[in-house]
Amino acid sequence: MIGTLLGGRYEILFQLGGGGMALIYKARDTLLNRPVTVKVLRPEYTGDEEFVARFRKEAQAVAKLSHPNIVSVYDVGQENQTHYIVMEYIEGRNLKQVIKELGTIPVKHAIDITRQICEGLQDAHENGIVHRDIKPHNILVMDNGRIKVTDFGIAQILSSITITNSETIVGSVHYFSPEQAKGGSTSIKSDIYSVGVVLYEMVTGKVPFEGETPIAVALKQIQERPIPPCRLNPQIPPEVERIILKAMEKDIAMRYNSAGEMARELARISDHGDSRLQDDDQYATRILNGPVVITKDKQTDEEEMNYRKRKRRMKPFAKVMIAAILIGLMAGAVYGLNLYLNVSEVVVPDVRDMPIEQAQDKLSELNLNWSITGRHDPKVTDGYVITQDPEPGKRAKVNSKVILTYSQGPEIAVVPDVVKKERDAAQIELSNAGFDYTTSEDFSEDIPPGAVVSQTPEGNTDAVKGTVVKLVISKGKEPKNAIVPDITGLSLEEARNKLQAVNLKLSSDITQEESTSFLPGTVMRQEPSPNSQIREGDEVKVVLSKGPGPEAKTAAVNVAIPNDGVSHKVKVVVIDDAGTRIAYEAEHNPGDSFTRVVTYYNKGKIQVFIDDMTQPVEERLVE
C-alpha cells in the first residue's frame, strides 16, 4: 500500500497500526496538502457486500458528527477492491499506550480525560449514534492534552461476528457492558458502562475483570461485581470510586442517564471535590500538630494597657460617630432605592425585520440602550433584525438595554466538485461542507455505476450553505436492444450459448411439459417469442419437453464412391427435430457403393458429403 494514491488524492505514506477489521495508515491529502489517517478494510471483509455496505453507511453517519472530542471523518471511498475511510490525523498516542507507560494515571488527569470522553459521547448520542466499542485503544491523547474518540459505529458493524473468532471482539470484551456480553441490544448506557471501565483502568492500572478466555471475561461482566478501586489504589477519593461504580452498575437503570450527566459530575468534583484532586500547595488546608504558643515581652504589655485606656476614653465619641454614619448610609440607601424603583418605564417597540440602524434609532428615541450581535440567516435580509430581547410589548426601564440579533445574510461556501466520485463519498463531502443533497439515476457511457454523473449547482462555485445539491448517479451504460433468436428444439446448453451470443440470458425459471413433438430435454416453447426485441441482458424463459417425444423413423441412404483411384471420406448428416448430428462417417475405397440406414425424428433432411466439401453431393427431405 505504501506509495499508493487512493481516490486520485490520498497518498499512503506509512502504516500506523492495525486492528481485527482494518489497517491504519498515515497519508497525505494531495488536494489540501494536509496529513490524514486512512483506515483500509482488511481483504477478508471486502468480499462480504452486506458488511461493506454497513461499513460505508456507518462511516457516512459518523461523518456528520462535529465535536472537538471526536475524530472527524473526511471521506469514504473504494479503489478496485480496497475500501477505505479518510479521517482527521491526530498527533499523539492512544490511551492504552499511555496507561501501559505510566501504570496508573493521576486521578485528576484521569477525571479530565473521562470528562472529555463523555462530552464527545454526549454529542454522538444526541445525534443518534452509539459507539459500542469504547476502550482505551479507541481514545487518542493529543500532545496538548485534548482527547479524541475514534472508531464510532464500528462495533455495530462487527455485531454479527462471534466473540470467539474475532481479534477485535477479543480485545473489547474487557470493556463490554453486561448487556453486550449477553448479546442483547445496546444503548447509550452501554457506552457509559464502558467509560466506567476505562476510568477504573486509568486509576488502578487494571481492568475490572480478567479471564483465561474471552467467554470467561464476558461471564464475569454479567455475573460478578468489580473489586472496589480504592482497594487497588488507596489514593482514589471515595467520590471518584462512587462515580466509577455507578457507571458500571449491572442494572442499566442504576447507571447515569446520559454521558452528559456523568461529565457534569466529573467536572463538579474536579472543581470542588476532594483535596486529593488538588495540586500540592503550601497554602492548602492542612492539620497542624500541637498548640500554637504566643510569647510576649514587657514592652508589649505596656503598649497593650495604653491602647485599652485610649479605647475607653474614645468609646462615647465613637458611638456618636458610628450612629451618624449609619444614619447617613441608611438615608442614602433609601434615596437610591427610591430612584431605582421610581425610574420611568417604556413599552419595548417591535424592531424585528427592521434595518439595524433604524432599530437603533427607534430604541434611542425611547431612551433605551442596545447591544448587537450578528449571525448568518438565509431567510432574513442582510442587516435586518432577527430577534430582540426583551420581546416586543414588554415594559422596560429607561436606559435599560435591548439585545438585538441581526442577520449577516446567508452563509456562502464553495460547493465541492463531486463529479465521478462514488455516491457515499460525494454525500459525505457535501455534508461536511454544509450542503444537503438529493439523488436521481441515469445511464452514462463514461461514468461507472454508482458514481456521480453530474451535479447542480456545479462544483467549485459559491452557494448558500444548506443549498440542496442535485446529484445524478450513474446506472452504467444504457443497454441496447437485441433480437431474440429461435431456440426451440435445442438442449439447455445449446439454448444458453445461442442467447449469450446476442447478450441475452437464459432464465433459471424453467418448467417442463409432456410433448410428442420435441425430444425430452429440448426447448419446446420460449418467452419472448423468436424475433422479438428486448434489452441486452434480459432473460428468456423456456419450457422443456418431458417427452415422450416423436417416434423414431428410418431412411435408407445409397452412396456411390467415385472410381478415380483414390480413397474418399464419406459423411452422412441428419437434420431433424432432434437437432443436427452426424449419422455416419467413414473412409471408402474408390468405386465402392453402399447403403446406410439412418434414424430421424418427425421430419427433416439428410445430407451426404464427400471429403471436405462444404456443399452436400446429395440432400433429401424426409417426413
Cβ proximity of 415 and 463 under 8 Å? yes
Q: What are phi and psi of 110, to 5 degrees?
A: -60, -40
386-395 exposure pattern, b = at least 16 Cβ within 10 A, e = fewer: bebeeeeeee
Q: What DSSP designation does 195 have? A: H
Rounded to 5, what percent of the chain is helix, strand, coil? 35, 30, 35
CA–CA distances in Å: residue 65 to residues 39, 41, 71, 86, 325:
18, 22, 9, 14, 63
Q: What DSSP designation does 468 have? A: E
Which segments of 79-141 does DSSP mark as H helices, in order?
A: 95-102, 107-126
Return the closest-CA partner of residue 339 out of 401, 403, 393, 399.
Answer: 399
Radius of gyration of the chain (CA): 44
Cβ proximity of 3 and 73 under 8 Å? no
* Residues contacting 288, CB < 8 A, separation 6+: none
Give the Cα separation of 269 and 262 in Å (integer): 11
Maximum CA extent, the chain: 170
Return the closest-CA partner of residue 152 out of 42, 23, 287, 60.
Answer: 60
Q: What is the DSSP string of 529-562?
A: PTT-EEETT-EEEEEEEEEE-PPEEEEEEEEE--
Instruction: Give me the sign of the Cα torsion angle 348, 352, 355, 356.
Output: positive
**Given the residues 133, 377, 424, 576, the one annotated as active site:** 133
Cβ proximity of 543 and 513 under 8 Å? yes
CA–CA distances in Å: residue 606 to residues 286, 526, 550, 570:
119, 27, 18, 13
Amino acid at 47: G
Q: How many residues does the chain have?
A: 623
Is 509 part of the annotated catalytic residue set? Answer: no
Residue 243 C-alpha cell reads as 462515580
Q: What DSSP designation does 154 have? A: H
Return the closest-CA partner of residue 67 out of 118, 23, 138.
Answer: 118
Residues taking part in catalysis: 133
